[in-house]
């Protein structure tokens, strides 16, 4: 089937104390798995079945198939999320990415301030992203399952899930604490740099 549940790239305890094993196990093993299973069930036996997960997500977006799009995009967004974090992350990026952050967002300090404001200020469920948009780095948020993958010209570099299921077990309603901890300790700048080089 085109949608698969990847293994987490680290043990479930690896992001503690910032994100608990309990949260990661529910988030990956229940929420992410459900999106993968529902996306596969929705395309089973249809002409979409031989396509890649990315192509199916794009087709669902273009055709306005919200039920399929929501599960397909969430499957992709969560796979991207696990790689956007790492144990002992959050240190400064280097090279091309550091130069681009300096040029477009006021360096890492400017990024941290603007990303926190965007992630905390996003109303309801969704995602905060660092994206490459036609030669410029930008911070954007998307609602619910929406993903830069289907918006022409945008290359996602990093994402943070701001759905309550991402932090509620650990922090209840305190989204700002979750965002701050992610920025300070978990950001995987190497992953962002790899995505930028590919853009």
| Footprint of Fe ion (CB under 5 A) | 161, 163, 166
From residue 193, give the alpha-carbon distance in Å to each of 94, 157, 190.
Answer: 8, 7, 5
Report, in Å, the least distance between residue 143 CB and Fe ion: 13
Alpha carbon distance 138, 40 (integer Å): 32
Residue placing its CB nearer to Fe ion in the complex, 69 or 193? 69
35's CB contacts (< 8 A; 6+ apart) are 3, 71, 72, 74, 75, 78
Report, in Å, the least distance between residue 31 CB and Fe ion: 5
191's CB contacts (< 8 A; 6+ apart) are 83, 84, 86, 157, 158
Residue placing its CB nearer to Fe ion in the complex, 48 or 162? 162
Residue placing its CB nearer to Fe ion in the complex, 30 or 103? 30
Report, in Å, the least distance between residue 193 CB and Fe ion: 24
Sign of CA dihedral 46, 50, 54, 59: negative
Residue placing its CB nearer to Fe ion in the complex, 100 or 178? 178
Q: How far is CA 56 from the centre of its chain?
A: 18
Report, in Å, the least distance between residue 35 CB and Fe ion: 8
């Amino acid at each position: 089937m085109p949608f698969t549940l990847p293994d987490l790239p680290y043990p479930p305890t690896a992001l503690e104390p910032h994100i608990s094993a309990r949260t990661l196990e529910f988030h990956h093993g229940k929420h992410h798995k459900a999106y993968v299973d529902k996306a596969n069930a929705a395309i089973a036996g249809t002409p979409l079945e031989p396509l890649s997960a990315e192509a199916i997500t794009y087709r669902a977006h273009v055709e306005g198939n919200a039920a399929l799009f929501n599960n397909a995009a969430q499957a992709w967004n969560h796979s991207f999320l696990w790689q956007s974090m790492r144990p002992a992350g959050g240190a400064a990026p280097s090279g091309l990415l550091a130069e681009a952050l300096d040029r477009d967002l006021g360096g890492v300090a400017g990024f941290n301030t603007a990303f926190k404001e965007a992630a905390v200020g996003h109303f309801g469920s969704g995602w905060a992203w660092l994206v490459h948009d036609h030669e410029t780095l930008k911070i954007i948020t998307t609602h619910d399952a929406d993903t830069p993958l289907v918006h022409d010209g945008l290359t996602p570099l990093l994402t943070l899930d701001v759905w309550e299921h991402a932090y509620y077990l650990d922090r209840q309603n305190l989204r700002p604490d979750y965002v701050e901890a992610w920025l300070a300790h978990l950001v995987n700048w190497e992953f962002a740099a790899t995505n930028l080089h590919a853009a």
